[in-house]
Structure 1
Amino acid sequence: MAGGDARWGCCESGNEANLQEKFLLCSTCGRSYHYFCISIKEPPNNISAWKCPTCMSSAPKVGRSDSTPIRNVSMNRGPKRQAIASPSPPSSSSKENDIRCIIKEIIGEELSEMLVRINETIVGTISRELEPLRLEMQGMRDSMSFMNEKFEEIRKKQEISNERIMNLEAENAELKAAMGGMSERFVNLEQQSRSNNLEVQCVPENKNENVYKIITQLARVVKCEISDKDIPHCTRVAKSNSSSTRPRSIIVQLASPKLRDQLLAATIHFNKSNPQEKLNSSHLGYAGPKSPVYVAEHLSPTNRALHAATRIKAKEMNYKYVWVRNGRIFVRKNEGTEHIQIRNNSNLSRMV
């Protein structure tokens, strides 16, 4: 019989291998049964009237008035007596080994499945627990990237700023050098503009005095011939220190530097010639106590401050001589030592 569309009543297997086996068709229920499944080797005599065990067990017994079904016949054949010269049945130890192998296989499969489920559970749990950490780490990486970008921007700006500062420092040094040179030139020019001037200090003041007559009288005393036309301008100047009790100085502008030097040299010669009676207020016609009168070059404010600082330093370092010649300041420690020119405050360190 063909079994392509058969309904199976035994193993219900319709695969290609089982379709090749011999089977019988039940005349009552129409189901198909393999020879092997119903434990027969040869086909019955009346194949067309063959009934399956299920239908036979449900049919009533012959010769009975009740409808009691026929005893259920098991589809599996019971144990038979061992035939003569047939192989001996397997021993109980081999059956136990087979059972153990089967149990081991079952346990191994169960353990494998259990391990897989445990691994999946562990991996899932760890993934869920580590997810916040992963997000936090991602946030930290983003923050670090942002900070690194900002740091690079700041570093580049710092490098640019450092370069600008270096350029500015170099430019500032050049400007300082230029300003130093310009300042020195300005001081020289300012002093040169006073090359015709003399400053007469400590001359007593009177309300109706004539400073021109005072200067001409001074020239007569020191024996230097000066006329009124040799004095273009003469006046008293304000005090640098308003609290000082000294009279205001008289600034005398002479006709030439040569005439200025002549009057200054004559005053120095007069003081050397009269060490006990140096130039004082009585020589100029002032009555009362005698007060010394000093004649010096008219220094610029810068040179005046430098001259004052030089005199203080010379007193500290025991320098004997401090003098001014043509607006330049000189010092000498003793009679036989070499003189030092003081150009600025930094030169004061040379006085040792």
Structure 2
Amino acid sequence: MPENCVVCDKPSKRTQKILTCGSCSAVHHLHCTNLSEADLQTLEDLGKSWICLTCTSDNRSKRRDDTPVGSPLLARRPKALMESSDGMLKELLQRVTDLQDGQREFERSIKAELSSINRTMSQWQRTIEEHTKSIAFLNETINSVNTKTDSIVEETKALQKRINYLELRLSATEQNSLRNVMDIHGISQKRDEKPETIVCQMASVLGVSLTPSDIDYCYWVSVRSNKNAPSVQHLLKVRFLRHNLVCEFLAARRARKNLSAKDLGCDGNRTIYIDEALSTFNRRLYSAARELKKQGKLKYLWIRNGSIFVRKEDGGRRITIRCEADLETL
């Protein structure tokens, strides 16, 4: 006859699964033990017996291991071991306390550092703002200066053009005042001989009709061929009352291939040259043109009526030199 379940006190049926306690052999319905069929299958697979809750509670009560105080392990701990554990626990607690204090000190240090960094960053921020304002002011000043500089440059260019124009006008006026003047090179100065006498002798040799009354003035001028020349040369500057006399002298000198001081009864055998007198500006241009000719950049260089002319090669066009810009184009 089937036994009743100790939990629900009902008999077990053939269709119901039952469990028998391995300690007290009490019968239990499977659904009364709160176990599943999978749990039952696991017990069978492991070959383990099932113990009911009543037997499990009785065993714990007998062993007195259901409370911490009554645990057999604690009951058997020696006093020395307990004291050692207490010391270790105190040491651990002290270390934890030290770590906590160190952490708090570290946090205070970090906060102080952060506060210092924040103050420094604030100072830098203020400095950067001040520098930004200074840079902006400097940029405005520079822009203003650049604007004024551009204006000054334009004014300077206009003034330079004006100066060049006035310089040309002044040179033209000075050159016009020298249209009756010529320069004679290659004659040695004599103390007792009058310059007018030499000019009249030269006119006689060249076949030019001239009397002392045709001469306005005549005097010696000391010159150097260049700044580094050790010796000083002398030229005879003559001003006539009529411009055609200058033209006649120049034409007669060009017609005569050789003319020296000896032909005039003077000491030496130096070649005599006759040139038109040039203004200071034209004389500077003529000197610069001669340097270009020495460098081989010009083939011909001459003066006519106070104007400077050049040719770069045979058969080339005649170029009038009026200012330094004309020389730069060569």
Q: TM-score, normalised by structure 1?
A: 0.57
Aligned equivalent of 1:234, options 208, 211, 218: 218
Rate the CA distance shift 1:126–1:270 in 2: closer, same or farther, 3 A: closer
Q: Which moved further from structure 2: 211-220 or 259-268?
A: 259-268
1:252 corresponding residue in structure 2: 238
1:297 is aligned to 2:281: no
Aligned equivalent of 1:338: 317
Could you tell me which residue of structure 2 aligns to residue 199 of structure 1?
183
Q: Is the 8 A contact 1:332 1:339 kept in 2?
A: yes
Q: Is the 8 A contact 1:201 1:293 kept in 2?
A: yes
Larger Rg: 1
* Residue of structure 1 in register with 2:77 after alignment: none
Aligned residue in 2 for 1:316: 295
SS of the equivalent of 1:249 reads strand
Aligned-residue offset at 1:247: 4.0
Q: Determine helix, strand or coil for the equivalent of 1:337.
A: coil
Superposed displacement of residue 305, structure 1: 3.0
| Deviation for aligned residue 1:208 | 0.6
Give 3-state SS (helix, strand or coil) of 1:290's partner.
Answer: coil
Q: Which residue of 2 aligns with 1:329?
A: 308
Residue matched to 1:136: 120
Q: Is the 8 A contact 1:320 1:334 kept in 2?
A: yes
- CA deviation string 1:255-307 (max 9, x = no partner): 12222222222222233xxxxxx121122122x54221111101123322322
- 1:248 Cα deviation from its structure 2 partner: 0.5
Q: CA deviation at 1:197?
A: 0.2
Alignment of 1:282 onto 2:262: yes
Retained in 1: the 8 A contact 2:195–2:236? yes
Aligned-partner residue type, residue 263 of structure 2: H
Structure showing the higher helix proportion among its residues:
2
> Which residue identity is paired with 1:214?
I
Counterpart-to-counterpart distance in 1, 2:292 and 2:238: 29
CA 1:243–1:314 in structure 2 vs 1: closer, same or farther (change >3 Å)?
closer
Q: Which runs of 5+ in 2 are unaligned?
A: 1-104
In the TM superposition, what are the counterparts of 1:215-226 in structure 2 within 5 Å? 215-226=199-210
Compared with structure 1, are the counterparts of its residues 335 and 155 closer, same or farther at alpha carbon in structure 2 (3 Å cutoff)? closer
The CA RMSD over aligned residues, in Å, is 2.8
The SS at the match of 1:268 is helix
What is the aligned partner in structure 1 of residue 194 from structure 2? Answer: 210
Q: Distance in 2 between matches of 1:173 and 1:264?
A: 41
Asked if 1:176 is matched to 2:160, the reply is: yes
Uncovered stretches (5+) of structure 1, i.e. residues with no partner: 1-120, 272-277
Which deviations, in whole Å up to 9, do the C-alpha atoms of 1:109-154 show, x marking residues without a partner?
A: xxxxxxxxxxxx9999976653333322222222222222222221
Deviation digits for residues 320-342 of structure 1, max 9, x if unmatched? Answer: 42210122111224553322222
Q: In the TM superposition, what whole-angstrom CA distance separates every residue of 1:166-218 from its partner, at most 9, and x where no partner exists?
A: 11111111111111212222222222221110000011221211110111111
> Do the aligned partners of 1:203 and 1:247 also contact (CA within 8 Å) in 2?
no
- TM-score, normalisation: structure 2: 0.61
Give the aligned length: 225
Return the match for 2:252 from 258, 261, 266. Answer: 266
> Using the alignment, how far apart are the partners of 1:140 and 1:246 within structure 2?
74
Contact in 2 for aligned 1:197/1:297 (Cα 8 Å): yes
CA distance in 2, matches of 1:169, 1:243: 40
